[in-house]
Amino acid sequence: MTRLAAFLAWSTQAGSPDAVEKALSVMKSKLNEQGFDYYDWNENQSVNKDIGAKVSDELLKSDLVILEGSKQRPNLAYEVGFAHALHLPLVVVKQAGSERLPENFGEPDYLSYPSDVTDDAGFETFETRFADWLRKLTLTTLSPGQRSARQGRNALTEQINKFIDGYPEEHASLHLLGGWAGALARELDSGGASQLVVDADYYLPSFSSLREWNGGTIRAIADLTDETEQFWTPDHPEEMTANVSERVFLIDWSWFFENEDRLARQIELWKRHQARHREGPYEIFIAAKEELRVGEVHPLGPTAVGHHLLLLEPDLIGGYRPNPGRVDGRQLVIERNSLRYAGATQFYDSIKARAVRFDPAMKVVDLRRAWVARNGIGRWDEDWTSETEFRSPDYFDSYERHIRCWIPRYAQLIRDCAATVFREILRIYADKMRAVDVLEIGYGTGRLTSEIVPWIRNINRPFYDLEHHGPVRLYRGVDRAEQMTRYARELLKPEQQTGLDMRLVRGTAWEDVDGRYDVVFGSLVMHFLVGPDPTDERLDEFFANCNEHTTEDGTLVFADVFGVNGDRKGASAMEKWREWMIRYGLAEKEVDGYMAGNTDMTSAAPVSLLRKAAEAHGFRTRVKVVGAPTLPFRIVVFEKERAN
């Protein structure tokens, strides 16, 4: 912000011109000491032809008006009136004993100076009073915030006046301007002085002005999962971090796993933020965007957009809410409220409690490791028994995060498994020209289901519109865990899947499976179905059940972990898996806990053993590597061989 500006005007006809000059010298000296520039009208009026316009221009640029009023000169009334219209602080200095100004001048502040230039004590008193008045103004009426708001108001008023002056006669544009200005006034009036509500587009200039504010700590939450704040880009405006002591960035948790490139770019941006502001305190914390927990309430309530939050000590909060006047619009809400500030502080601290302090030396792997450790992601609980349905809620609540620390390239495994199921559905449909029925075993949180169902709906839609069965007639899913069933039903809403007969039930394979299906599939379930180090009898029973519940040309598709005959190659694959988990963010202790708690995975049946058992029941075997051939994860297809 520019230096403070003062406008000075004084009379050359005062009773003691020497006293006037001395008073002016005292005031100019104190103005310089307090950081003011000043415009002395009497020193410049001789070069001005349009006196009225020049006075107006200089008053508009001023923060303070100082007038000598010992003689009631005609221009004095104009200058006082203009200052009052602009709500500028005004002081009238007068020689002792001169006439008081009329009451309709608005009773401005008066400072008296001696009429006798040799009255040193009197001028010392005048100097002290004037200096005290300036200091008081710089802390109150001329504080940076007051000045910023006043300058913004004056700039708006000036532009409106210029617009009006451009239409000396009646015109529709004047009505449009009046409507807009009235709406803006009503918007500002909606919360009075305690609340500022403006369109979110004005966030940047509003926040930028805070560079001049040093009244307390500024903290903020920036929710990067919401697109309201578009300025968190490589072109990020520097002033947005100039006065913030700490900021929590919320990102989608998938950035740690499937969007590492995006996270890497964001890390570079955070580094630049801190480098720009290394002189002052500016700490960055990173947290994953979570559903709000019990007790976590955004201070703007359920209408808040995202988790964005601004905290300015001692009593100011800010955030976004929908703009009722604009589709997809946002309003910036700034509110002064001590009680809400206390609640907002609790909300902020709760979010920060699961955040990681950012260090510029961090890479993606370091940030992920710190976040995983901070939030206990991937930590295997000894109480999580092999019976999935009896595991505690924290296993299910964070399952999608846990699984990405345990299973290499989990998202790729799911996508590849879904693609394989698609191919088998289309193959059977093309061969038989009849609707296909599918069964998913162990649908869990619905991750694989949510890949497959939209695809099925798309290929079914044209047939459904013609009131015919599409390529897929039935979709059945079975899972033994009540928590998983509830989660998947809420996510997928099977009863609302138009054009598809879909049911997700709680049960076990194969006791609660009825009928025969063309494609039977599952992800990370086969190792559970056949158990660790399965015997020939167990495998024979498994494929007998598969044969019983598949059609004559049916197919099995399983994405899972598979052993390698217990030889050195198999041991190496398990060791590579263990190394991957450590490299991906888990501590060795956590990896050991997971391996010990999942012997059905670490001792999974090898494909060669499964192939032998499958062939005995009429299935031929195809294998696809997932991730890397050195890791023990595969997609295995068991396809019924056609009779000659």
| Residue carrying structure tokens 């029941």 | 617
CA distance 535 to 547: 18
What values do phi and psi take at 581, rounded to 5? -60, -40
H helices of 104-221, in order, are 120-139, 144-165, 172-189, 203-208
**Ranked by mean pLDDT, which of 106-120, 221-235, 379-393, 447-461 comes out on top?**
447-461
Q: Which residues pair with 476 in a beta bridge?
A: 439, 503
Return the CATH number of the domain spanning residue range 199-374. Answer: 3.30.870.10
**Is 334:195 a contact under the CB 8 Å cutoff?**
yes
Q: How many CB atoms lie within 10 A of CB 575?
A: 11
Check whether 603 has a pLDDT greater than 90: yes
Residues in the chain: 644
| pLDDT tens digits, one per residue of 387-422 | 777 788 888 888 999 999 999 999 999 999 999 999
Helix (H, G, I), strand (E, B) or coil at 160: helix
Model confidence band, residue 278 (pLDDT cutoffs 50, 70, 90): low
pLDDT over 90 percentage in the chain: 50
Model confidence band, residue 202 (pLDDT cutoffs 50, 70, 90): confident
Q: How many CB atoms lie within 10 A of CB 628?
A: 12
Helix axes 568-583, 588-597, angle to 10 degrees: 130
CA distance 530 to 541: 9
Annotated domain spans of the chain: 4-142, 149-189, 199-374, 404-640
Check whether 244 has a pLDDT greater than 90: no
| pLDDT tens digits, one per residue of 153-183 | 888 888 998 999 999 999 999 999 999 888 8
Check whether 46 has a pLDDT greater than 60: no
Check whether 566 has a pLDDT greater than 60: no
Model confidence band, residue 605 (pLDDT cutoffs 50, 70, 90): very high
Long-range interactions of 589-592: CB distance < 8 A, separation 24+: 590/378, 590/379, 590/380
How open is the CA angle 168-174-177, to the nearest 5 degrees? Answer: 140
Q: How many CB atoms lie within 10 A of CB 155?
A: 11
Average pLDDT estimate for 223-234: 77
What values do phi and psi take at 288, rounded to 5? -85, 140
CA distance 28 to 8: 9
Lowest-confidence region among 36-50, 323-337, 445-459:
36-50
Q: Output the six-digit token pair for 37.
A: 């520039």
**Ranked by mean pLDDT, which of 13-17, 175-179, 382-386 comes out on top?**
175-179
Nearest to 138 by CA among 63, 223, 27: 63
CA distance 575 to 630: 10
CA distance 532 to 309: 50
Class of domain 404-640: alpha beta
* Strand spans (E) along 495-575: 501-506, 517-523, 550-561
Q: Which residues pair with 249 in a beta bridge?
A: 222, 286
**Is 425:436 a contact under the CB 8 Å cutoff?**
yes
CA 456 to chain centre: 34
Write the DSSP string, 182-202.
Answer: HHHHHHHHTTGGGEEEEEGGG
Average pLDDT estimate for 578-583: 94
Class of domain 4-142: alpha beta
CA distance 458 to 462: 8
**Is 11:73 a contact under the CB 8 Å cutoff?**
yes
Average pLDDT estimate for 297-303: 88
Q: Establish whether domains 4-142 and 404-640 are of one fold.
A: yes
CA distance 238 to 269: 11
CA distance 306 to 200: 13
Is the pTM for the entire model greater than 0.85? no
DSSP at 623: E
**Pick the residue with more confidence: 467 or 397?**
397
How do 472-479 and 436-441 pair as beta strands? parallel
CA distance 520 to 38: 85
Q: Output the six-digit token pair for 14.
A: 């005062």
H/E run at residue 106 = none
Q: Output the six-digit token pair for 1.
A: 């912000």
| Residue carrying structure tokens 């086969």 | 526
Q: Output the six-digit token pair for 6.
A: 């003062």
Report pLDDT for 106.
60
**Is 462:499 a contact under the CB 8 Å cutoff?**
no
Lowest-confidence region among 125-134, 326-335, 540-549:
326-335
- Residue 107, sorted as left (phi over 0), alpha (psi -120 to 50) or beta, turns out to be left
**Is 372:585 a contact under the CB 8 Å cutoff?**
yes
Model confidence band, residue 67 (pLDDT cutoffs 50, 70, 90): confident
Q: Which residues contact 159 (CB under 8 A, 6 or more apart)?
A: none
Report pLDDT for 48.
55
DSSP at 255: G
CA distance 424 to 520: 10
Q: Output the six-digit token pair for 78.
A: 């104009």
H/E run at residue 390 = none
Report pLDDT for 185.
83
CA distance 428 to 426: 6
Q: Which residues contact 145 (CB under 8 A, 6 or more apart)?
A: 212, 213, 215
